[in-house]
């Protein structure tokens, strides 16, 4: 199995707090967040990884190399200009044809059961399954609204007051048919802002797996300090 792990974000909101490493290389529980994600995937049987880079790519590549030290295979792409969470897939388009694959946001930490997405995918005629986790404050997140069978009926990015009653937040973990590549245009494209709304607008089937499994995001200095218990570490 294959996974694309997105690791190109600049972490603009962490500027001045963590400057010496890409955000996915922040140390959490003794390891870079990116390594936690790789190990989560590997435990599910994923052995081939595609990692996009932009900010300080050498930090990521020097840590993981070709993946052999971790018992995996790693391919990289370098983005001179950031292509977005969906546009990044175009760099690996040829390698992703042929079988479903995961896309994981490499700067989040979770212990989500990845196999549950595979199971849900095979229950339905769909283009993909999205993982959602529960969060009280959804103002800075994308939330899903679902039919009784788990099909996603609506997706709202950073909902305003009263715009959605959902507390199920996009966990940044997708299991996708390679047919998704037909919906990703050249250049910049974002799953939450561009691709997911476009698919729902065309009535293309997307399903959900909802879990209260804890997810740690490291998007702002406040979230970073909360996740790390006040200790901010980096791996140079």
* pLDDT at residue 219, rounded to an integer: 61
Tokens of 43: 């435990």
> What whole-number percentage of the chain has pLDDT above 70?
87
Q: Is 143 helix (H, G, I), strand (E, B) or coil?
A: strand
> Encoding tokens for residue 86?
């969906």
Amino acid 19: pLDDT: 54
What six digits make up the tokens of 196?
């997911």
Q: In 54-151, where do the E strands start and end?
A: 73-78, 101-105, 109-110, 128-134, 142-146
Cα–Cα distance, 49 to 161 (Å, whole number) = 39
Could you name the CATH architecture of 2-130+172-187+215-227? Alpha-Beta Complex (3.90)
What lies within 8 Å, CB to CB, of 182 at 6+ separation is none
pLDDT number for residue 220: 52
Task: Tell me what pLDDT residue 230 has.
Answer: 45
As a whole number, the mean pLDDT across the chain is 90
**pLDDT tens-digit readout, 174-198:** 999 999 999 999 999 999 999 999 9
Cα gap 211→100, rounded to integer Å: 22
What is the distance between the alpha carbons of residues 199 and 222, in angstroms, rounded to a whole number? 33
Domain boundary assignment for the chain: 2-130+172-187+215-227
Token pair listed for 235: 């791996």
Per-position b or e across 184-215, b if 16+ CB within 10 A of its CB: beeeebbbbbbbbbebbeeebebbbbbbeeeb
59-73, 83-97, 221-235: range with lowest mean pLDDT = 221-235
Rounded to 10 degrees, the C-alpha dihedral 142/109/220/103 comes to -50
Rounded to whole angstroms, the Cα distance separating 221 from 224 reads: 5
pLDDT reported for residue 195: 98
pLDDT in tens, 85-129: 999 999 999 999 999 999 999 999 999 999 999 999 999 999 999
Of 213, 13, 187, 230, give the one whose Cα is nearest residue 107: 13
| pTM of the entire predicted model | 0.91
Q: What's the confidence (pLDDT) of residue 12?
A: 53
Q: According to the model, what pLDDT value does residue 14 have?
A: 46
pLDDT band at 55 (very low <50, low <70, confident <90, very high): confident
Going by C-alpha positions, the residue among 236, 214, 224, 167 that lies closest to residue 28 is: 224
Average pLDDT over residues 156-165: 92
For 116: left if phi > 0, alpha if psi spans -120 to 50, otherwise beta; the answer is alpha
The reported pLDDT for the residue numbered 225 is 57
pLDDT in tens, 5-44: 999 976 554 454 455 678 899 888 889 999 999 999 999 9
Q: What ranges in 112-156 are assigned the alpha helix state H?
A: 114-123
Token look-up 């791996």 returns 235
């Amino acid at each position: 199995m294959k996974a694309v792990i997105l690791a190109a974000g600049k972490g603009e909101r962490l500027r001045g707090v963590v400057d010496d490493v890409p955000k996915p290389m922040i140390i959490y529980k003794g390891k870079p967040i990116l390594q936690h994600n790789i190990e989560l995937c590997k435990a599910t049987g994923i052995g081939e990884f595609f990692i996009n880079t932009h900010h300080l790519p050498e930090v990521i590549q020097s840590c993981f190399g070709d993946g052999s030290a971790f018992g995996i295979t790693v391919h990289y792409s370098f983005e001179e200009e950031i292509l977005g969470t969906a546009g990044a897939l175009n760099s690996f388009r040829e390698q992703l044809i042929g079988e479903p694959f995961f896309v994981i946001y490499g700067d989040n930490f979770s212990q989500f059961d990845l196999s549950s997405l595979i199971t849900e995918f095979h229950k339905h005629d769909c283009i993909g399954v999205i993982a959602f986790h529960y969060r009280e404050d959804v103002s800075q997140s994308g939330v899903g609204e679902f039919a009784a069978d788990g099909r996603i009926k609506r997706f709202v990015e950073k909902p305003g007051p009263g715009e959605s009653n959902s507390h199920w937040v996009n966990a940044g973990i997708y299991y996708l048919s390679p047919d998704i590549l037909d919906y990703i245009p050249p250049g910049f494209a974002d799953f939450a802002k561009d691709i997911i709304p476009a698919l729902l607008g065309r009535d293309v089937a997307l399903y959900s797996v909802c879990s209260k499994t804890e997810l740690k995001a490291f998007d702002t200095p406040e979230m970073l300090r909360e996740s790390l218990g006040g200790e901010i570490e980096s791996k140079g």
